[in-house]
Structures are given as C-alpha cells and as structure tokens.
Amino acid sequence: PCVVEDCGELQPDSDWGLAENDGTPDKYPPFPEDQELSTELKVEDVEEVVTNIKDSGNYYFSIKNYTDANRKYKKAIRYIDWCKTQSDKINSYDEMKLSEIKLVCLLNQAAVKLKVNLFREALYLCDK
C-alpha cells in the first residue's frame, strides 16, 4: 500500500509563519483576517496592535527605510478599517480614537511619499 506521511499539510493550530518577525514591535500577520482572535473583539486590543504596527513604521522612517515604513502604515490602516467592519459595538469614543490613529498613519504615509518625491501621492493621502 502507498502511505503518504508528513506531506507538509498544516494543522489548524500550528504556526503558519504568517506573523512578522523583523525585530520591531509588529508581530502580527499582514492581514487582520489571519490574526488569531478571541471571540470577543476589544477595541483596546486592536488599538494596541495598531499602535505597535504604527510604531514599527516610525522606526523604519527614522532609519530612512521608507518602503518598509510605508508598508507598516498601510498595514495599520488595514487593521483599523477591518476593526470597524467587525464590530457593531464600537462606541463613538473608540471610533474617534481609531480615526485619530488612522489620520496619523495617513499623514505618516504622506511624509514617506514626500521623502521619495511622490508628491501627487502625498497630496492624495493628505486629502483622504
């Protein structure tokens, strides 16, 4: 008989290697849908995750790695937008906090675009 063993199939509870491991506080997968979350979504937890991702972007910006800085800011915005679609229990205060962080990320992205001479893209981000 033919037996196939250890063929590379991933188990549901195994580490799929999706989380980032670049030495920054961002230890989260590129897309929030891939994040293991408890059944109760807490805005405070999302805010902490987004702040870690944004801070990672700030680190890359400070060392003039604008490509990775932009990637982190886009990722933070992706997590914020996802959170807003996942929970109908977000109160106006939490919505305001997330919107403020999103605004900072958009402006940081615009700063990245200015550093790499993409002026129209910077203007577009400032108008969002």
- Structure confidence by residue, pLDDT tens digits, 94-117: 889 999 999 999 999 999 999 999
Tokens 């990775």 correspond to 68
For residue 124, name the pLDDT band (cuts at 50, 70, 90).
very high
What is 32-127's CATH number?
Answer: 1.25.40.10
DSSP string for residues in 61-101: HHTT-HHHHHHHHHHHHHHHHHHHHH-TT--HHHHHHHHHH
Write out pLDDT tens, residues 33-64: 887 766 577 888 889 999 999 999 999 999 99
Q: Which residue has the higher pLDDT, 77 or 17?
A: 77
